[in-house]
Structure 1
């Protein structure tokens, strides 16, 4: 089994583009982490985490005393010049090319979704071929990228296809037909904002 675990609620105002900013988590961290721990089986000895604090802090809480392998390839999308900026404050002429084709167009000073997907899937394949059970503590974009990879879902459709809340836990099981995913833990929370509020899908 492979367990994909998203970090808990980050300590940042809604609407701020935070990508790879190394931000902490809110005061609800422990309560959220306890709920995550309830759905995880005992005996997970192999743990990988994004090196950003919101992920490796959760990994340390869930798997105390264990060696946690920090993998830079498991970090969220690099948002370059937009890190720490409110989505609505990015000038339309700057953001529109990316919004029209975020899969292939890189954020200024950052990366495109396909670039992130490449590094994530290479890392995931290596982890998946190793010993199981294994846990991967990471980010929403990374989990969507992995799920797109194992289900052959186009990246452009991944946000609509996969609902990944803060603290979400996805279980991946190896079958003769490939990896099958199941949601073990999902929290219905206030909708996140990862694009301009006035954006309308073309």
Structure 2
């Protein structure tokens, strides 16, 4: 199985360094440029596209689907982590407004469930469930359009790493990662930043 994993282009929330999970945010000018570059440069032969249902991913999936004449499928499991009460705020705002929750999250960011949101463990489990279903499909090349946290999770799962090894990977907006997965062994073949 070949996976092309693509992070959505830069959004306003990304530029403002906000925790942005399952809330919509429009592309910045840089994001629009990345969007156009990805569309122009994308030359992979894809069997199917799976995308987060959020517009920052779905719009790109729709346009790439048209270009490649390939269907795309909305996958809830590819949504970014739900940051609950932290959503649409920067870390200073979160520290000020939700100090107790922030402190609990910092102490155990893997297992602590953010109020009205989810834990990193929740994200990990839903992404793993999707990936296990994908592994059952016949060999093919699949495009996954998703978010930074989901991509870090996918990489840790595909490379058989621990959940907290995710911080070894900086996934910029507009990043494209090529991963081969054969006989339960993942290899990163290429990383391109737009």
Q: TM-score, normalised by structure 2?
A: 0.87
CA distance in 2, matches of 1:113, 1:174: 24
CA distance in 2, matches of 1:26, 1:82: 22
CA contact (8 A) 1:74 1:142 kept: yes
Alignment partner of 1:153 out of 150, 161, 167: 161
Partner of 1:174: 181
Partner of 1:8: 9
Q: How does 1:1-202 map to 2 (within 5 A)?
A: 1-12=2-13, 13-37=15-39, 40-64=42-66, 65-90=69-94, 91=96, 92-131=99-138, 132-159=140-167, 161-176=168-183, 178-187=185-194
CA distance in 2, matches of 1:94, 1:100: 10
When the two chains are superposed, the root-mean-square deviation of aligned CA atoms in Å is: 1.9
* Superposed displacement of residue 37, structure 1: 4.2
Q: TM-score, normalised by structure 1?
A: 0.83
Say which SS state the counterpart of residue 5 (structure 2) adopts: strand
* Superposed displacement of residue 177, structure 1: 5.7
* Superposed displacement of residue 88, structure 1: 0.6
CA contact (8 A) 2:12 2:26 kept: yes
CA contact (8 A) 2:11 2:56 kept: yes
Say which SS state the counterpart of residue 23 (structure 1) adopts: coil
Q: Number of residue pairs matched?
A: 186
* Superposed displacement of residue 60, structure 1: 1.6
* Superposed displacement of residue 139, structure 1: 0.4
CA contact (8 A) 1:36 1:169 kept: no
* Superposed displacement of residue 38, structure 1: 5.8
Of 100-109 and 127-136, the range deviating more from structure 2: 127-136
Identify the structure with the greater helix proportion: 2
CA distance in 2, matches of 1:110, 1:86: 16
CA distance in 2, matches of 1:126, 1:179: 16
Gaps of 5+ in 2: none
Partner of 1:195: none
